[in-house]
Amino acid sequence: MDIGFIGLGNMGFPMARRLIEAKHPLVVFDTRKEVVDKLVVLGAQAASSPKDVADRVETVMASLPSLQASLEVATGKDGVIEGKRVKRFLDLSTTGARMAIKVAETLATKGITGIDLPVSGGVGGAEKGTLAVMYAGPRDGFEELKPVLSAVGKPFFIGEKPGMGQTMKLCNNMLSATAMAASCEMMVMGVKAGLDPAVMVDVINAGSGANTAVRDKFPKSIMTGGFDYGFYTGLMYKDVRVCMEEGEALGVPLPVSSAVHQMWVMANQVNGAGSDFTEIVKIIEGWAGVEVRNKKK
């Protein structure tokens, strides 16, 4: 299937690359020429704008960093909505249900189907093609698009209404954000008490406290001192903030999530939006006066 792909960042680039490897002809666009050029070398065709992508293919995918970027790419000037060939727009970004519904309703005025398609699994999952792909849109479209979606991960049919995929993604990401914040506190407390962080990781992963932060983030990016997991603090903060907004709109109290939200507000302000999200541990480390790092042998 001919595919258009817009947004070639940390997540978008490996997903687009996997589509090329799966033999799907690809037309790509990003504001950064250097990442477009890398995919052209692999066999993609370069486009000059989102509209240009949508002029050349019926199926357009996008992976974008903010709600505003998704809205503008889909419905703005020179956006997908102005394309001559496009029939469906698949948004892999995390925008929240209300934005997904707004985009889908706007695209529908031009006969374009807006499909809510967030993904989870991080940069590693995007590289390996093991992402959880959350589809919310027409059921028959899910079956048709399965070969495409399977190139980037495991597709799940969430529901037919745009926004359902976003709600699923926000629930997932809030749990991930909570595990990260809580694990930072416990790992720092253990090290402050004299425990070896490597032993802590082994014990927690074998016990009832096991979670992805201790399994993946601590050994790979925190205990090494690399802080290079590949996901920005600003993006995690955005996901948590949007989840809080959605909970309020639905009338669902989120007291625990509210405390987690405050930690990510702090991480975004102190470490900066462009920092690696694993650097949230530095805030707790600073308060405690210890660092959670591998012991020197």
Domain ranges of the chain: 3-162, 170-288
Instruction: Supply 123's token pair.
Output: 């940069």
Amino acid, single-letter form, for residue 270:
V
Give residues with Cβ within 8 angstroms of 239, minimum separation 6.
Answer: 94, 169, 170, 173, 174, 177
Q: State percent of the chain over pLDDT 90.
A: 96
pLDDT in tens, 232-250: 999 999 999 999 999 999 9
Q: State percent of the chain over pLDDT 70.
A: 100
So what's the architecture of 170-288 in CATH?
A: Orthogonal Bundle (1.10)
What are the angstrom distances between the C-alpha of 158 and each of 136, 155, 164, 210?
5, 9, 6, 26
- Among candidate residues 51, 102, 169, 217, the one labeled active-site is 169
H or E segment at 61? strand 59-62
169 in catalytic set? yes
| Res. 106: pLDDT tops 80 | yes
Q: What is the DSSP letter of 82?
A: G
CA dist., res. 159 & res. 255, Å (int): 28
CATH of domain 3-162: 3.40.50.720
Give residues with Cβ within 8 angstroms of 180, minimum separation 6.
Answer: 213, 217, 236, 277, 278, 280
Could you tell me the pLDDT band of residue 297, with boundaries at 50, 70 and 90? low
DSSP string covering 110-130, please? TTPEEEE--EESHHHHHHHT-
pLDDT of residue 230: 87
